[in-house]
Structure 1
Amino acid sequence: MTDSNHTPSCYANTSTPYTYVPKMDNVYLSAIFSILGLISNLVAFIVLIKSCKQTQNTSRSFFLIFLGGLVVTDFMGLLVTGSFVMSFYITYVDWRLSDPTCHFCNFMGMSMVFYGLCPLLLGATMAIERFIGIKYPFARSSRLSKGRTVSMVLLVWFIAGSISLLPLTGFGSYHIQTPGSWCFINISSKRGDWAFSLLFSLVGLISITASFLLNTVSVVTLIKVCRGAGRRQRSRDHEVEMMVQLILIMIIATVCWCPLLMYILVSALTPPTSDDMVLSFTRMAGWNQKLDPWIYIIIKVFKLRRVTNSASIDVMAQLKQSLFTPSYPNCGLCFA
């Protein structure tokens, strides 16, 4: 058994057990929700690919690239973190014995930070793109391309990945968390841990705040434009649809992530009150990855129904016209 004097840093100074034996009901529930989340993201990705192939609107195609990056991030986040948690749920592994060098603990902590920050940063990036697209459409159309849009998604992944790697350089650390089945940021009074916790929470909160401010301006501008659009109303339907999706993404991210980010921010400034709060707020944040894909799926279903209803109305109108409108094909013969 490992000597307590040589306990790795990710397991030191904690009362959290290194082995967690959950109730089977919790295991089944976690597995079901994780599988449903993966399936939802997969379906959403297929929907986005089909929409991207069908769309002829340039700004919408750029927006769909951002959405695709968000769906891929959510899918991989559920797959990676869910696999770790479920494997430890099922095998009852003793973390300190199976991972004496903290490699797995650090990797899981990095995954939690990376896949947590990516949706928030992507949401802020999409808000910036929509703000420029609605406020300054000519400037945006002349500078943005599909290649640059993909580069922006990759840049977001790079920034989130760089932040998640900081604890490996000594700036902050990852630590086993209650009840002993996962690892995350170590919230402590040490300077490095304090600074990294503050960085993580501030990046997330700033991203949400920026999304809220930019989306508010974009919605107000879009309302003004639509009121005077007249003949161009049909060309604004895509803009309205994109803003609706973006607003829903922002609301879900805010509701799911703000409790955890605020708790980490407060805990970094004052001693944390309970480790159980981190677990509860992290579970709430995890719902962001499960709820995001339903935005695209529901909107796609709504659009299909609207198209179907419009087609039905057109068919009925033509049928009424053919039944009740008199027709005189040989009218010239009637007076012969």
Structure 2
Amino acid sequence: MNASAMPPANNTPLCYSINSPPFRYQPTIASAYFSSIFGTLGLISNLIAFVVLLKSILRTHSRSRSTFMIFLGGLVVTDFMGLLVTASIVVSFHVTHFNWRKLDPNCHFCNFMGMSMVFYGLCPLLLSAAMAVERFFGINHPFAHSTRMPKSRTVSMVLMVWLMAGCIALLPLTGVGSYHMQMPGSWCFFNISSTGNNFAFSLLFSLVGLMCIAVSFLLNTVSVVTLIKVCCGDDRTQRRRDHEIEMMVQLILIMVIASICWCPLLVFIAQTVLSGVPLQIKYLLLWLRFATWNQILDPWVYILFRRAVLRRINPRLNWSRGSIMTLYPSFSDTVRRFTRSSLGSSLGPDEKEETRKSNVMPPSTPPPASP
């Protein structure tokens, strides 16, 4: 039976029943510098991204773009608060070397940090999935999206994501899982174990994160294919898709960063609890540092990958001339031929004949000779 499921011996609080401070391990001064530098870098990056987003929201008049930027704003605020809460606790421990047992004898502080780790870890993944759903409907069903997606509903969706992550983070306080002190004594996290309720919560945390990444990948792939067909089509009266291309590029980069940073930790947790092997703390710390990069790299996606910045870097990217696809005619023609051939297989003979006639250019007539 797991030690966390047994009543604590000698009046030891539950969060210290597995790892009880003080530990023999003495953190080096490099640990304090490492945590301080990464925390400061992440806070400054998210603060810059929030200022840029706020200016863009006040200037934009497109409903779909403002909806997407509200989701981005929620992501930036979540990453900023997550780094502010967790980094301040970790840096304070490395600087002062305080004793958790004396400072927090009733595990309130440890439970708060464990809840923060779970909440601010799941929120970016859930928001990324919500942004993928919003872009899927915005590209594939633009009319229904523009009439049924006001800003108030977008804000409500962001609040619902925060509420869902908060409910999951509160589960260990109700008995489903438990928060414990983790080595080297600077942080608290839920007990990754294959027994009892700890198994259920560990698997829930891992599956929710992996499911969000899978939903983002599936919906973003469909949205990109649809956007390429629209941009490379023969319809010259189509509305410009520059904003959609910019938003999809940013969303794909957010998805790639989240997948690279979070998949190792989520797979490691699922593999540990399903196989029943003892937890290897060195790999947990390694993959957790990988996941921390997500909060640092996310804001730079919007800071750097904007049309104004890309236009300064490469003046050839003249977005005002229509779609970015027109800058690459060979690629555009290739995709257009592929799209036409795929659409032609699903058309009837009458529709094919009509499409063929519409694609045939009328012969040019010479100008009349002047008398």
Distance 1:148 1:241 in 2: 23
**Cα distance in 1, alignment partners of residues 237 and 110 from structure 2:** 55
**1:49 counterpart SS class:** helix
Structure 1 residue corresponding to 2:299, chosen from 290, 293, 312: 293
SS of residue matched to 2:194: coil
Instruction: Give the TM-score, by structure 1 length.
Output: 0.87
Distance 1:13 1:307, change over 3 A: closer
Distance 1:137 1:215, change over 3 A: same
1:60 counterpart residue number: 65
Q: Secondary structure at the match of 2:241?
A: helix
1:278-307: CA deviations, max 9, x gaps?
111111101100000111111235245169
Alignment of 1:94-243 (within 5 A): 94-228=99-233, 230-231=235-236, 235-243=240-248
Query: How far 1:49 sits from its partner (Å)?
Result: 0.8
Structure ranking higher in helix proportion = 1
Deviates more, 1:206-215 or 1:296-305: 296-305
Match of 1:71 among 58, 76, 82: 76
Aligned to 2:278: 272
C-alpha separation in 1, matches of 2:54 and 2:42: 18
Contact 1:16–1:179 (CA under 8 A) maintained in structure 2: no
1:302 aligns with 2:306: no
Supply the distance in 2 between the matched residues of 1:275 and 1:262 (Cα, whole angstroms). 15
Question: Once structures 1 and 2 are overlaid, which stretch shifts more, 144-153 or 20-29?
Answer: 20-29
Indicate the SS of the match to 1:175. strand
Q: Deviations over 1:163-206 (max 9, x none)?
A: 00010111100111111110111012331100000110000000
Aligned length: 310
Partners of 2:166 and 2:298 in 1: CA distance: 21
Please give the per-residue CA displacement for 1:237-293, whole angstroms capped at 9, x wherever unaligned: 000000000000000000000000001111111223411111111111011000001
Superposition CA RMSD, Å:
2.1
Report the more deviating stretch, 235-244 or 90-99: 90-99
Name which of 43, 46, 52 aligns with 1:41. 46
Q: 1:21: how far off? A: 3.1
Structure 2 unaligned spans of 5+: 1-7, 319-371
Q: Which amino acid aligns with 1:297?
A: I
Q: TM-score, normalised by structure 2?
A: 0.79
The one of 233, 245, 248 aligned to 2:250: 245
- Partners of 1:96 and 1:151 in 2: CA distance: 40
Whether the aligned pair in 2 keeps the contact of 1:20 and 1:181 (CA below 8 Å) is no
8 A Cα contact 2:128 2:216, kept in partner:
yes
Deviations 1:23-65 (A, max 9, x none): 1122112201211110110000011111111212110110000
Q: Answer yes or no: is the 8 Å Cα contact 1:173–1:185 preserved in 2.
A: yes
Matched ranges for 1:84-99 at <5 A: 84-99=89-104
Return the letter of the residue paired with 1:285.
A
CA distance in 1, matches of 2:118, 2:162: 11
Q: Residue 137 of structure 1: CA displacement?
A: 1.0
Answer yes or no: is the 8 Å Cα contact 1:18–1:94 preserved in 2: no
Q: Judging changes above 3 Å, is the alpha-carbon distance between structure 1 residues 115 and 229 closer, same or farther for their aligned structure 2 residues? A: farther
CA–CA distance in structure 2, aligned partners of residues 227 and 17 of structure 1:
64
Match of 1:7 in 2: 12
Between stretches 155-164 and 228-237, larger displacement belongs to: 228-237
